Amino acid sequence: MLYELRTYTTLPGRLPALNKRFAEHTIQLFEKHGMKSEIYWVPTDEPLKDNTLIYVISHESREAADKNWKEFQADPDWIKARDESEADGKILAKPPERVFMTATAYSPKK
User: Can you list the alpha helix ranges (DSSP code H) found in 1-110?
Assistant: 15-21, 27-32, 62-74, 76-85
Instruction: Enumerate domains of the chain plus CATH numbers.
Output: 2-101 (3.30.70.100)
The pLDDT of residue 110: 59
pTM given for the model: 0.93
Region at 33 (left for phi over 0; alpha for psi -120 to 50; beta for the rest): alpha
Q: Which of 31, 3, 1 is nearest to 100 (CA)?
A: 3
The pLDDT of residue 109: 73
Per-residue pLDDT of the chain (110 residues; tens, 9 = 90+): 999 999 999 999 999 999 999 999 999 999 999 999 999 999 999 999 999 999 999 999 999 999 999 999 999 999 999 999 999 999 999 999 999 999 999 999 75
23 contacts 17 by C-beta, under 8 angstroms: no
